[in-house]
Amino acid sequence: MTDTPNHAALAARYGAGHVPAAGPWSPVIDALLAHRSVRAYRPDPLPEGTLETLVAAAQSAATSSNLQTWSVVAVTDPARKARLAAVANGQKHIEQCPLFLVWIADLSRTARLAEAEGKALEGLPYLETFLVAALDAGLAAQNAVVAAESLGLSTVYIGALRNDVRAVAAELDLPPGAVGVFGLCVGHADPAQPAEVKPRLPQPAILHRERYDSCGEEAHRAAYDSALGAFSARNEMSAYRWTERVLARLGSTRALHGRDGLKGALRALGFPLR
């Protein structure tokens, strides 16, 4: 059937010509498919206790071996948000939103625990342990996003904090072994600037069964270029295809906006990455 809410939600996410079969469904899936990044916020403060509720949802996410190697810094001070926005190429929604969350890959707490217990942690300085911390932060943040959207709030992730992780660490007074891996704007969307669900790659480009299979990838990419071009023409300052975005974003180190030096910056912040 093509007139069900399930079909409509899938069509919004993939485009009318690439709707996958809808199986079991729930209100949670409806909410997940309706996700959109919002970059315009009203200044209204959030209801009392919202922050704590979002953190409770975040702490309910899976965490590798229950190590809980992440933290979050809640920022509401306008001047501090403005300085963080400057790190992120001047993204004004960081200043607009009433709550800006900086998610921290945090091995400093683990190091303090070991010091207090008089133990050495041979596995602490390795890349694997940093990945655990960064992935834990991502899982926790996504739980917070789902919780926020269930409350009628809107969000957008800010990866551009990694443009200068040392400046972010100084701004937030982070100890060695802690780094801001991304930010998250949380607030009430400005109804004057509505956000549309952005289409994603067709499922056959992403979903592989038993073994990886890239057959048909060019056709899927062409279809997605067309869908995203139409979306960007409606919602962005200029129309662009996904292919163009990927090539522009990764085609030069200059497009990384300083993140090409991230490995050195992480080491300076106390992550040896062995």
pLDDT beyond 60 at 1: no
Query: How far is CA 216 from each of CA 176, 211, 213, 240, 270, rounded to the nearest angstrom?
Result: 47, 15, 9, 22, 44
pLDDT beyond 70 at 3: no
Q: Give pLDDT, residue 121.
A: 97
Q: Edge-to-edge strands of the sheet including 99-106? A: 70-75, 99-106, 178-187, 154-158
Q: What is the mean pLDDT of residues 104-126?
A: 98
> Residue 178 is encoded by which pair of tokens?
């802690």
pLDDT beyond 90 at 125: yes
Q: What is the mean pLDDT of residues 242-248?
A: 94
Question: What is the residue-averaged pLDDT of the chain?
Answer: 95
- Token pair 């509401």 is found at 76
Q: What is the mean pLDDT of residues 218-239?
A: 89
Are 58 and 144 contacting, i.e. CB atoms less than 8 angstroms apart? yes
> Residue 141 is encoded by which pair of tokens?
């943040």
Are 248 and 102 contacting, i.e. CB atoms less than 8 angstroms apart? no
- For residues 164 and 168, give the distance between their C-alpha atoms in angstroms, rounded to a whole number: 7
Query: What percent of the chain clears pLDDT 70, i.e. is strictly above it?
Result: 99
3-state SS class at 106 = strand
Query: Radius of gyration of the chain from Cα atoms?
Result: 20
Lowest-confidence region among 96-110, 176-190, 232-246: 232-246
Query: What percent of the chain clears pLDDT 90, i.e. is strictly above it?
Result: 91
Tens digits of residue pLDDT in 184-223:
999 999 999 999 999 999 999 999 999 999 999 999 999 9
Tens digits of residue pLDDT in 8-61:
999 999 988 889 988 899 999 999 999 999 999 999 999 999 999 999 999 999
Q: Give pLDDT, residue 262.
A: 97
Are 72 and 103 contacting, i.e. CB atoms less than 8 angstroms apart? yes
pLDDT beyond 70 at 75: yes
Indicate the pLDDT class of residue 168, thresholds 50, 70 and 90: very high
